[in-house]
Amino acid sequence: MNYLEIFLTMQNLNYHKQFDRSKKIYEKYSSFIPKEDVYLQNKFLNEYEIACKKYILKSKPTNIQLVLFNKCNSNCIMCNQTKEKYVLSDKYIKEITDEYLQYLDILLWQGGEVFLDDKFINIVKQVSKYKRINQQIITNAQVFSSNIIKELTSMQNIKLIVSVDGVKKETYEKIRTGSDFNKLIKNIELLNKYRQKYNSNITTNINFVILRENYKEILEIVSFAKKYNFSSITFNECIATEKYNPKFTKEEKEYINKQLQMAIAYAIKNDIRITIQYANNKLAKQNKENVLVCKIPFNKLLLENGNLFAPECTCLKKQYYAKEENLNIEKMWNSELMQNYRKHILGIKNNDNICNLNCRLYKHYYN
């Protein structure tokens, strides 16, 4: 039996709100899913609960994002993290590694700079025993050591998301204050050396935030990616912060759009995937009317700063994040906040203020 084909059929039907057909497929095949395969059981149950318009879920999250702390060796001009020091409680990491790894597709690690924690690489190694989990690590690649790189390239299903906001030393170091462009290049070259040596399947992605300081380097970042064997680039629209507001003139916006189109064409020729993340209010409204657009609150949970949690980091403004004492992950997962998102998406209780139209759901993939 091709479980993947059955699952994808349910997924597609739910996406287009054909819930009754999706339920029938689950009811027909659910008894054949191996009971000992909790991962597969959970994936099918999640789609079935969406089809049944459940907003209190028995299925577990398949995608977890952890902001471990905000300690960082850089002081980026556009950073939106609070200066108040915080560290995610170890109890959440333990709860995830003890109970939730068996359900996960994706585990996203974020800081600050995660490699400033000496224990972090050992946690990644522990998770890597679950071959199915795609571990995504956001890093500035400034504090890599040869030992860290050796460890990473020896593991399976690791994706490094490297923040590179300029291809010129002057631009990069102006934006990422405290970072060293030469060190970035040295560490990327070392990573590629070990990747080849160990025949590693590690993948590398560039995160490029479009700013006033770097928008003329949009096309050049594709050449940089090609030179240093990055498989993809994500262009991010900058979210304004208290200290930085990335306002562009009409002419500059037109220039950026032209550069992005050129970057897409160049990337496709070189087998580099481009993702462009930006708000598109017209598309958002069309999607809301025609399809079940967003599955994030049904399969993803973001944890950061103590008891702060949300479905995803761009779902809503920070002041709307839920913060409740003494909640474990299970209680967060079916908290009032998550229920309200699910109700809104399923059309049970509309709340036009709960979703953010700057959501990363409205992103475009090329190649």
For residue 359, what pLDDT is reported? 67
pLDDT at 296 over 60: yes
Asked if 323 and 333 count as a contact pair (C-beta separation under 8 A), the reply is: no
Higher per-residue pLDDT: 165 or 17: 165
User: How does 248-263 read in b/e, with b if 16+ C-beta sit within 10 Å?
Assistant: eeeeeeeebeebbeeb
Domain ranges of the chain: 3-51, 63-288+356-366
Across 77-103, average pLDDT: 88
Q: Where are the beta strands (DSSP E) in the chain?
A: 63-67, 75-76, 106-110, 134-139, 158-163, 176-177, 203-210, 232-237, 273-277, 300-304, 308-310, 322-323, 363-366
Q: What is the sign, positive or negative, of the torsion defined by CA atoms of 225, 231, 237, 240?
A: negative
For residue 292, what pLDDT is reported? 59
pLDDT at 214 over 90: yes
Residue 362's pLDDT band (cuts 50, 70, 90): low
Across 185-209, average pLDDT: 95
Across 95-99, average pLDDT: 94
For residue 320, what pLDDT is reported? 45
Residue 210's pLDDT band (cuts 50, 70, 90): very high
In tens, the pLDDT along 158-175 reads 999 999 999 999 999 999
Between CA 213 and CA 170 the distance in angstroms is: 10
For residue 53, what pLDDT is reported? 94
Across 169-185, average pLDDT: 96
> Whose CA is closest to 71, among 114, 107, 118, 124?
114
pLDDT at 284 over 80: no
For residue 319, what pLDDT is reported? 44
What number does CATH give the domain 63-288+356-366? 3.20.20.70
pLDDT at 285 over 60: no
Angle CA 316–318–323, to nearest 5: 105
In tens, the pLDDT along 217-259 reads 999 999 999 999 999 999 998 877 778 888 899 999 999 999 9
Residue 84's pLDDT band (cuts 50, 70, 90): confident
pLDDT at 327 over 70: yes
Between CA 118 and CA 135 the distance in angstroms is: 18
pLDDT at 283 over 60: no
In tens, the pLDDT along 332-357 reads 999 888 999 899 888 888 877 777 76
